[in-house]
Chain A
Amino acid sequence: MDKRKVKETLLGGLLKNNPTFVLVLGTCPTIAMTTSLAQAFAMGIATTFVLIFSNLFVSLLRNVIPDKVRIPCYIVIISTFVIIVQMVMRRYLPDLYSTMQAFIALIVVNCIILARAESFASCNKPLYSMLDGVSMGLGFTAALCVIGIVREFLAGGAFAGMKIPGFPAMEGVGASAFGFIAFGCLMALFNFVIRKVNDRKERLKKKELPLSEGKVGTMEEAA
C-alpha cells in the first residue's frame, strides 16, 4: 500500500477536499440537521457509515457493473445501507430516530455519497475507497458538528444540550436563514485558514530550495 496515497486520501476529506466547507456538497442536511450538536453528530455518523460501505461495495463491483447502469446500481447499493442505518436507529435510538427520520431517508440522495462513488470508488481499489469514505465522512461530521455547536450556542445559549449560564438564547437565530449565514461565515473562515497555511508552506518550500535545484535567480546573483 502506498503510504503517501493513504495519507493523501485520509487527509483529503478532512481538509483539502472537505465535502462541506470546500466542495460545498450535502448542503440540505447541513442546514437542516445542525440546530443542535447531538443531531449534527448523529447525521454525520450515519452518513459516514453509508459512505464507507457504499464506497467499499462500489469499488468491489467496479469491474462488474456495466457503464450504462452504473448510476441505478450505485443508488441500489447506497439505499441498502441507508435502510440498514434506519433499521438500526429505529431499534436502538428510537428518540433520536423520531426527530431525524425524514433526513436519514434523504441520505440516499446526498450528493457527497453519489459523488464519491462516481469519482473515487468506481476507479480505485476497495481499501482506498473505504479510506476515502472514512475521510469524507469524518470531514462531513466534523463540519456539521462545528456548525451545530455555533448554532446551538447562539440560538439556545447551550452546548450539547446543556445550558451555559450567562449566555441568553437569541430568538430567530435557530431559523434556517441564520443557518445559511453561519454556514457561510464558517466556510469563509475555514478556507481562509487553509489558504494561509498553504501559502506559508509554499513560502517555506521556496526558501528551502537551493539555487542549484532550479531556483530562478537574477543576473546579479549569478555574477
Chain B
Amino acid sequence: MDKAKFRSMLRCVIVLAVIALCSGLLLGAFNILTYVDPLKSTYERFAADTGATFSKMTDEEGKEYSDGSVVYYAVSDDGVYHAFLAEGKGGYGGTVQLYVYISENKIVKVVLGENSETLWATFEDDFFDQFRGLEINQISSFLPSDITTSSTAKKSIRAIGGAIDSVVKYYNETAGGENNG
C-alpha cells in the first residue's frame, strides 16, 4: 500500500476517533449532571398530577400485555388514587407512555408521557378528556376503535389504545381486585 495514502487514511481514522471519544466523554459528563432517576421522577409526576402523596411504588416490575405494558403502579398514601405509568406499543415513533389515574374504579385523568409521535397537532385539545369517567371494572379490555377522534394518526391511536388496555387489564387483575377485595 502507498505510504502517503496509508498515512492520510490513518489520520482520518485518528481524528474521527478522537472527536467521537471527546463527544462520548462530554455526553457522559452531561448525563451525570442531568440524570433523572425514573422511579423518583415517576413519584414526582404522580404527585404533581393528582395533588396526593406517593411514598412507595406498589409494583416496580410492572406487567407486559400484547399491545402494551404497565411500567409502574402505585397507590397514593391516602388510598384515593391508583396511579399507573403505562406504555402502548406500535406507535409511529415506538412506544407511547401515558400516566393514568384511577379513583373509585373510574379513570379520573390521563396525561401524555414520553413519546416520539409527530402528529399530536392533529388531535383535539381535549382529546385525553374522553377517558375521564371510564368505569374500569365494567370492561375487560379497551380497543383503539373505542377512541373518538378526528385525527388520522392511526399508529398513535393504536399505541394510546394499547396503553389504556394494559391499565384496564392490570387494574381488573391486580389493583382492582385488591381495591374491591
Q: Hey, which bits of chain A sit against chain B, CB under 8 A? A: 32, 35, 61, 64-66, 68-69, 72-73, 76-77, 79-80, 83-84, 87-88, 90-92, 94, 97-99, 101-103, 105, 156, 174-176
Contacts and interface: CB of A to CB of B under 8 A. Distances in A.
26 contacts: A32-B118, A32-B121, A64-B15, A65-B19, A66-B15, A69-B12, A73-B19, A76-B20, A76-B23, A80-B23, A80-B27, A83-B27, A83-B30, A84-B30, A87-B27, A90-B34, A91-B36, A92-B34, A98-B115, A99-B120, A101-B114, A101-B115, A102-B115, A102-B116, A102-B117, A102-B118
Contact of B36 (A61, A90, A105): A90
A73 B112 contact: no
B121 A102 contact: no
B26 interface: yes
Nearest to B125: A156
B90 to A, nearest CB: 16
Interface string B4-37: 0000100110011001100100110011001110
Nearest to B24: A80
A80 B15 contact: no
B79 interface: no
Contacts of B118: 32, 102-103
A133 B118 CA distance: 27
B113 interface: yes
Contact of B19 (A77, A83, A88): A77
Interface residues of B, number: 30
A73 B115 contact: no
Given A83-B27, A99-B112, A102-B118, A88 B34 contact: yes
B149 interface: no
B115 A77 contact: no
A83 to B, nearest CB: 6
Interface string B107-150: 00000111111101110010000000000000000000000000
B112 A98 contact: yes
Interface of B: 8, 11-12, 15-16, 19-20, 23, 26-27, 30-31, 34-36, 41, 45, 93, 97, 112-118, 120-122, 125
B20 A91 contact: no
A221 B41 CA distance: 82
B122 A175 contact: yes
Given A83-B27, A87-B31, A98-B112, 7 more contacts: A77-B19, A84-B30, A87-B30, A90-B36, A98-B115, A99-B112, A174-B121
A77 B23 contact: yes
A80 B30 CA distance: 10
A98 B15 contact: no
Contacts of A73: 15-16, 19
Contacts of B122: 174-175
A76 B112 contact: no
Nearest to B92: A102
A35 B34 CA distance: 29
Nearest to A36: B121
